[in-house]
């Protein structure tokens, strides 16, 4: 029995050896090209060289898929072109994984970030912000009391310089916001009813406007930051304001200095951090930063910062614009004419008003305004 079994083993082993000798030698393992597709990446099967290629060459001349597949998998190997400029010899970028996207060629990965994250989530966030403001307006109404304005306003809240700097910045921001929203969401909101020709003209015009107003906003934003920085520095009382949400839900406004903690939050979060992010990335997109290598990668990263920063900034300034127009009585006029009544100052910025009455802060800072009626004497504390 044992003899028979070992014979079969011998026969089996011989058979296996024979089969092995037949099998083709395994391909030597090639190291993946640097920045090329990841190890284990299986290139889609080459399309059979059948008529379809010939058909494609006719219907889409130059769309030579096998050629492009080769270029894509070559890991950004630079070829020769006679187009001037950086990386013009690189037809397809390296493989990359931008946050929230697949590992794909950088252009594809960036496209996914834009179309899967920035557009849907950014758009939803802006809608949510607008709906929240509308609910607040219909729920709580305009904040503040109508104060006797009799004749000239009493306290100068914003000087002519502060107001012109503010409105120049505000107008630039609104123009950038509208043109930016059309570039990002116009395809869904305008194209369906405008048609390609008109939509193309409108977006081209707005994109050009965006590229020119951008640098203007960059300058006016810096002016705004330096102009209002001192009065936005944090103070002890700001914490009380934050804890009570400024009295926005109780109806009793919490005393604050010239700017309350909410305004300071918009200043440091909206104007300073988001504003400078949007401006810096915008200047890169406008190719206005000297000695920077404007590769596609640089532009993709700048775009992601720019679009994300702009969406968040617009959400923040929806609130600022609401309070600065219909959301708080007398606020718009303060930035329009520069003056507020004593009652307004006392209701909305009581600590600022007390400092003025105590003579620590001048009620009039610029020399250009109209004559004032005498101030009510400081109430005995
Ligand atoms: C249409 C758009 C805008 C309107 C209607 C508006 C309205 C106002 C109003 C009424 C005030 C006075 C608030 C107060 O008395 O405390 C104000 C203050 C201010 N605004 Fe605007 N604004 C607009 C856009 C902007 C933009 C785009 C920025 C900056 C990117 C900005 C930055 C400021 C700053 C820094 C102040 C001073 C208060 C503070 O520092 O917190 N505003 N705005």
Mean pLDDT of all residues in 109-114:
92
171 within ligand 1 shell (Cβ under 6 A): no
Using the predicted structure, report yes or no on whether residue 109 has a pLDDT greater than 70.
yes
CA of 337 to the centre of ligand 1 (A): 14
Using the predicted structure, report yes or no on whether residue 49 has a pLDDT greater than 60.
no
Q: pLDDT digit string (tens) for 10-24?
A: 666 656 665 555 555
What domains are there in the chain, each with its CATH number? Answer: 110-157+229-363 (1.20.950.20)
Using the predicted structure, report yes or no on whether residue 327 has a pLDDT greater than 70.
yes
CA of 15 to the centre of ligand 1 (A): 87
pTM above 0.85, yes or no: no
Q: To test the ligand 1 pocket, which listed residue (166, 225, 229, 310) has its Cβ within 8 A of the most ligand atoms? A: 166
Atom of ligand 1 nearest to the CA of 157: 15
Mean pLDDT of all residues in 94-101:
80
CA of 320 to the centre of ligand 1 (A): 6
Q: What per-residue confidence (pLDDT) applies to 378? A: 47
Token reading at 139:
């729920």
- Range with the poorest average pLDDT among 10-14, 323-327, 356-360: 10-14
């Amino acid at each position: 029995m044992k003899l028979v079994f070992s014979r079969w083993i011998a026969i089996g082993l011989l058979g296996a050896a024979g089969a092995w000798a037949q099998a083709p030698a395994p391909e030597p393992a090639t190291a993946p090209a640097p920045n090329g597709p990841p190890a284990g990446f299986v290139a889609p099967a080459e399309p059979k060289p059948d008529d379809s290629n010939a058909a494609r060459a006719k219907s889409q001349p130059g769309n030579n898929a096998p050629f492009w597949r080769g270029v894509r998998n070559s890991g950004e190997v630079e070829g020769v072109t006679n187009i001037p400029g950086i990386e013009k010899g690189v037809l397809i970028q390296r493989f990359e994984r931008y946050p929230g996207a697949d590992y794909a060629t950088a252009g594809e990965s960036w496209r996914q970030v834009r179309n899967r994250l920035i557009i849907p989530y950014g758009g939803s966030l802006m809608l949510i912000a607008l709906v929240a403001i509308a609910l607040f307006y219909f729920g709580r109404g305009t904040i503040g009391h109508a104060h006797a304005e009799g004749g000239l306003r009493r306290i100068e809240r914003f000087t002519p310089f502060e107001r012109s700097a503010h409105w120049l910045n505000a107008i630039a921001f609104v123009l950038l916001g509208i043109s930016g929203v059309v570039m990002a969401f116009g395809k869904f909101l305008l194209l369906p009813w405008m048609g390609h020709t008109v939509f193309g003209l409108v977006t081209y015009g707005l994109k050009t406007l965006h590229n020119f107003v951008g640098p203007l906003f960059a300058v006016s934003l810096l002016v705004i930051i330096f102009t209002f920085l001192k009065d936005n520095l944090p103070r002890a009382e700001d914490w009380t304001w934050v804890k009570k949400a400024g009295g926005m839900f109780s109806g009793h406004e919490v005393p604050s200095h010239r700017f309350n903690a909410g305004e300071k939050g918009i200043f440091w979060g909206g104007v300073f951090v988001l504003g400078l992010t949007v401006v810096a990335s915008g200047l890169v997109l406008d190719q206005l930063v000297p000695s920077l290598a404007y590769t596609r990668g640089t532009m993709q990263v700048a775009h992601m910062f720019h679009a994300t920063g702009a969406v968040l900034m617009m959400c923040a300034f929806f609130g600022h614009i609401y309070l600065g127009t219909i959301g708080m009585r007398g606020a718009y006029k303060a930035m329009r004419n520069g003056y507020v009544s004593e009652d307004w100052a006392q209701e909305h910025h009581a600590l600022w008003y007390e400092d003025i009455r105590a003579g620590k802060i001048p009620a009039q800072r610029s020399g250009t305004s109209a004559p004032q009626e005498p101030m009510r004497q400081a109430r005995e504390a």
